[in-house]
Amino acid sequence: MYADDSGNSVSAGQRWLRGGASWHLWVALGAVLAAFVVHAGRVTVDGGMDNAIVVHAARTWLDGGSPYADRHFLYLPAAVLAAVPQALLPVGVVRYAVPAGVVAALVVGWGCALRLHGESLRSRFAVLGLFGLAVGFAPFGHLVALGNWTVAAVAVLPFALLLAHRGWWTAAGVVIGVTVAVKPLLVPVALLFVFARRPGALAAMVGVPIVGSVLAALVMPDPAGFLTRTLPFLLSGRDEFVRLYEASPAAVLPRLGVPEAGAGLVAVVGAGVGVWCAWGRWRRGGGDGAQRVGEAGAMVMLSAFLVSRPSYDHYLLVVVPVLVAGVLREGAVARSPWFWLAMVPQVPGVSWPGLEAGTRRAFRDAVTLCVLAVTVAVRGVRGAGVVTQRDCPGRPALGAVPTRSAPAEQLPTARLDR
């Protein structure tokens, strides 16, 4: 065993992973990522099925129609304007530019997750971790092929958590707000700002998408389309095509014979328990602050995925890189064997008996989502730690317990790996 710069013990394997990556590893990673881009460009027309929906909405608006005439367009008005450049580009460019942009955003998200946990971007762990996500986690390839704008959330969540960890909470609220204006997937992160008692960050997160959507709606032929068409569609969850691919218990359990009311109740209760566990993880503190912010943020997102309609497999990419990037840290959620058991259904190329059809992979996705949510929840609330000053730079930590007999920096903290 060795000790790092902070005095924490590290194994020889950790030291090797944190060492600099050779150019051979970088070439191998680049080849794999390039293969994803080229393959997606060859098999799709508009850069992916989901991206085609957004591009079609932008073209409809440019032609004077309402983007919300397509009930599968599930984005805020600002997303229409953001998609205009894609709508104006030649199809031959878009079909390769979109998957390339998705891969680039996934790389950015992984890099931000690494920096959140203090890992080097040039390390073997940085290269091998992204390589593992690309070849060993099916949602990675699915997201590149679909061109879904979920990738914005995948890139921005770790970036926002990094900003929050470094004390720049309002900036974190702004970047989350910009992402919500394009796709409202990161709305649950508002709870993290509530936990941290950061009203400025919360106001920025709420205000940016409201202002952006109102301004964009003013140039739409149907300015209230999101409220009158898309929102009721999302709340009803009655689209049979969408339901076949949803991983939420509210969608999967009825396919197994559970009454819809009971399935919905299970999902709501699970989400409520998840939020309570996220709050407990935030209050418990411990670690160096990165684990606290990362795990609490991941838990609120997983709670939302349990109850949201729709809820797809590529949504998992929003939280998994944040958790995997912390695996070298003592007490990390990704060190739990249950975390990796949750990933087993997402191994590409495995034919699970009875689940070969694409419309039945939702059962595998539901297993991963539920096991992962339970793992993060249990690991998050176990033990009783003391929040140290390092948990929130620039502000006294919530729940800190100072004493007169010892300075705050000498207070013990609970080990998270017990």
Q: Say whether pLDDT at 121 is over 70.
A: yes
Q: How many CB atoms lie within 10 A of CB 232?
A: 11
Alpha-carbon span 75 to 57, nearest angstrom: 10
Which of 130 and 92 is assigned the larger pLDDT?
A: 130
- CA 261 and chain centroid, separation: 28
Q: Between the ranges 12-16, 51-55, 95-99, 120-124, where is the mean pLDDT highest? A: 120-124
* Residue of higher predicted confidence among 286 and 77: 77
Which pLDDT score, from 0 to 100, does residue 234 have? 66
CA 169 to chain centre: 18
Amino acid at 272: G
Of the pLDDT bands very low, low, confident and very high (cuts 50, 70, 90), residue 240 is: low
Higher-confidence residue of 235 and 371: namely 371
Element (DSSP H or E) covering residue 2: strand 2-3
Q: What distance in Å separates the CA atoms of residue 33 and residue 331, rounded to the nearest whole number?
A: 31
How confident is the prediction for the chain on average, in pLDDT?
Answer: 85
Beta strand extents in 151-308 (DSSP E only):
none
Q: Using an 8 Å Cβ cutoff, are 287 and 416 in contact?
A: yes
User: What is the pTM (predicted TM-score) of this model?
Assistant: 0.87
Per-residue pLDDT at 275 exceeds 50: yes
222-231 pLDDT per residue, tens: 777 777 777 7
- Burial (CB < 10 A; 0-12, 13-18, 19+), residue 234, is middle
Residue 262 has pLDDT above 90, yes or no: yes
If one compares 265 and 2, the residue with the highest pLDDT of the two is: 265
- pLDDT of res. 414: 35
Residue 394 pLDDT greater than 80, yes or no:
no
Supply the pLDDT for residue 45: 76
Q: Which residues share a beta bridge with 6?
A: none
CA 258 distance to own-chain centroid? 29
Residue 20 makes CB contacts below 8 A (sequence gap 6+) with 120, 122, 123, 124
Q: Residue 122: its pLDDT value, please?
A: 96
pLDDT at 70: 79
How many alpha carbons lie under 13 Å from residue 177 in its C-beta half-sphere?
21
Q: What are 282-293's pLDDT values in tens digits? A: 998 766 689 999
For residue 392, what pLDDT is reported? Answer: 40
- pLDDT, one tens digit per residue, over 277-333 is 999 999 987 666 899 999 999 999 999 999 987 889 999 999 999 999 999 998 899
Q: If pLDDT is split at 50, 70 and 90, which confidence band does 385 have?
A: very low
Whole-angstrom distance, CA of residue 57 vs CA of residue 323: 34
Q: Determine contact, residues 285/396, Cβ cutoff 8 Å.
A: no
The answer to whether the CB of 389 falls within 8 A of the CB of 400 is yes
Instruction: Determine contact, residues 149/51, Cβ cutoff 8 Å.
Output: yes
